[in-house]
Amino acid sequence: MSDCCETYLKLGHQVPDFEIDTYDPTVKNFGKISLEGQKKAGKWTILFFYPADFTFV
Amino acid sequence: MGAEVVTVSTDTQYVHLAWQRHEKELANVKYPMGADPTGNLSRMFGVYDDSSGLALRGTFIINPSGILMNSEINFYNMGRNIDELMRKFKANLYLAKKKDEGCPSKWQEEGDQTLKPSPEMVGRVHEALNE
């Protein structure tokens, strides 16, 4: 657990840009989401991490 | 609500697809399901558990300028309260408009009592909340 779970980002500070692959059930297709895209769209982002698919969230 | 909710685990997008198709509880999921198989995003937010390769239950709210506004991390064995997440998000939207106010713990929605920090309030929060 030595490297586990330290908080690397500080509240009130800029989150570095990131991009991840997604599966979007609304369009039943794969896609990508990036923080840069969210900022360009003027949207808030809520990231909701959970341990694993096929378990409770 | 003007926000994109993205669920993220260290599974791939292909596993997300299989799970969402298979699990009837997820039939109405409208959020994009983010894939972080490298754990890089989970590490960045401090939720990656090296001993398991999984992400802990972390929730992060980022404003449209890319600033981190809220963070909450629960261990594996505790779920999150979605009402509280929505309360925090609504408070963020409100406070983005009212920069000199604060939302106390019982604030639920616009119109509820807020606080304006001032010299007069020091030592008198109880009175301010109950006036």
Q: Determine whether the interchain pair B64/A35 forms a contact, defined as Cβ–Cβ distance below 8 Å.
A: no
- A32: containing domain: 15-39
Q: Point out the residue among A1, A12, A46 whose CB comes nearest to the CB of B89.
A: A46
pLDDT confidence of residue A2: 44
Q: Determine whether the interchain pair A7/B46 forms a contact, defined as Cβ–Cβ distance below 8 Å.
A: yes
Task: Tell me which chain B residue has its CA closest to the CA of residue A14.
Answer: B67
pLDDT digits (tens, 9 = 90+) for B29-88: 899 999 999 999 999 999 999 999 999 999 999 999 999 999 999 999 999 999 999 999
How far away is chain A from the Cα of B97, in angstroms, using its nearest Cα?
A: 14
- B28: containing domain: 7-80
- Domain containing B47 — which CATH number? 3.40.30.10
Is there a domain that residue A1 lies in? no
The helices-and-strands tally (H runs, E runs) of chain B is 4, 6
The helices-and-strands tally (H runs, E runs) of chain A is 1, 3
In angstroms, the CA A49 to CA B101 distance is 30
Model confidence at A57, in pLDDT bands (50, 70, 90)?
low
Q: Determine whether the interchain pair B54/A21 forms a contact, defined as Cβ–Cβ distance below 8 Å.
A: no
Q: Determine whether the interchain pair A21/B13 forms a contact, defined as Cβ–Cβ distance below 8 Å.
A: yes
Is there a domain that residue B85 lies in? no
Is there a domain that residue B103 lies in? no
Is there a domain that residue B65 lies in? yes
Is there a domain that residue A9 lies in? no
Model confidence at A6, in pLDDT bands (50, 70, 90)?
low
CA of B90: how far to CAs of B2, B14, B94, in Å?
11, 33, 6
Q: How many domains does chain A have?
A: 1
Q: How confident is the prediction for chain B on average, in pLDDT?
A: 93
Q: Point out the residue among B8, B14, B85 whose CB comes nearest to the CB of A20.
A: B8
Is there a domain that residue B30 lies in? yes
